[in-house]
Structure 1
Amino acid sequence: MKSKVIQKIKLTKDPISNFDLVIQAQKGVDAEMAFEISETLLMPDEDLSLILHLSTKTLKNYQKSEKSLNPIASEQVLKLNELRKKGEQVFGSVEAFNNWLKKPAIGLDDAIPYQFLQTSGGMDLVMEELDSIAYGDFS
C-alpha cells in the first residue's frame, strides 16, 4: 500500500505541501524512487549517494530488496522530486532544468545550483531561486 502512495506523489505534477512531504518522509520512500528521480535528472549514482548520505552499495541493496529509505534520505528524495517538478515547470522541460542546474546562477552568487543539492537547506535555496525565476527574476 505504501508504494501506491509514493507512486501517487511521484506522478502528480502538482507540488506537495511541506506537511505531506514530512509525513511521507517519516513513512519512508522506496530506494527505487530515488533512482528514478536521479535518472530523470541525469544524475550519476555517486551523486545520488552524496545527496542521500548513503553509499552507492547501500542504495543498490535497498533497491534490490525493495526497502524503504530512512526518513532523512526519504526527505531528500522527496525534496529532489519537488525541485524536479518546479524546474520542469519553470524551464518547460526537465532537460532545460538539467542544463540550468549545472551552470552558474546569478541569484546564487554565481554558484552552480547542482552543488547545493547535498543539503536540505541547499535544496531550499535552489527552490527559492526557481521561485524567483518563475516570477521574472532571471538567473
Structure 2
Amino acid sequence: MDTNASDRLLRIAAVTKKATDVLGSRVAAEHWLATPAIGLDQCRPVDLLQRAEGLELVITLLARMDRGVYT
C-alpha cells in the first residue's frame, strides 16, 4: 500500500471512530459518512477525507454535532 492510500485509510478510521462516538453506533457512523450532509454543502463526509481541508471540515462538524450545535 502506498503512503497516500495508508494515510487516507488512517483518516477514515479516525473519523469513523469519532463519528461512532458522536452518533452512538458504527452503523450510524458509516451511514452518516456515506450520506450528503447539509453542514458540508451536501457533500458526503467520506468524499472530503481525501484532503486535509476536507478532513478538518468533517471533524469540525462532528465536534459541533457532539455539542448539539448544527448551525
TM-score category (smaller protein): 0.7 to 0.9
Runs of 4+ in 1 over 4 A off after TM superposition: none
Give the match for residue 122 of structure 1.
54
Alpha-carbon contact 1:80-1:123 (below 8 Å) kept = no
The alpha carbon displacement at 1:117 in A equals 2.1
Give the match for residue 86 of structure 1.
18
RMSD: 2.1
Describe how 1:77-116 pairs up with structure 2 within 5 A: 77-116=9-48
Give the TM-score normalised by the residue count of structure 1.
0.44
Tell me: CA distance 1:79–1:138, structure 2 relative to 1, closer, same or farther (3 Å).
Answer: same
The alpha carbon displacement at 1:90 in A equals 0.4
Give the TM-score normalised by the residue count of structure 2.
0.77
Alpha-carbon contact 2:12-2:46 (below 8 Å) kept = no
The alpha carbon displacement at 1:108 in A equals 0.9
Structure 2 spans left out of the alignment, 5+ residues: none
For residue 131 of structure 1, the aligned residue among 60, 63, 67 is: 63
Q: Deviations over 1:56-111 (max 9, x none)?
A: xxx4xxxxxxxxx43x4443332222101101100111110111112221211222
Which of structures 1 and 2 has the bigger CA Rg? Answer: 1
Percent of counterpart pairs with the same letter?
35
The alpha carbon displacement at 1:133 in A equals 0.6
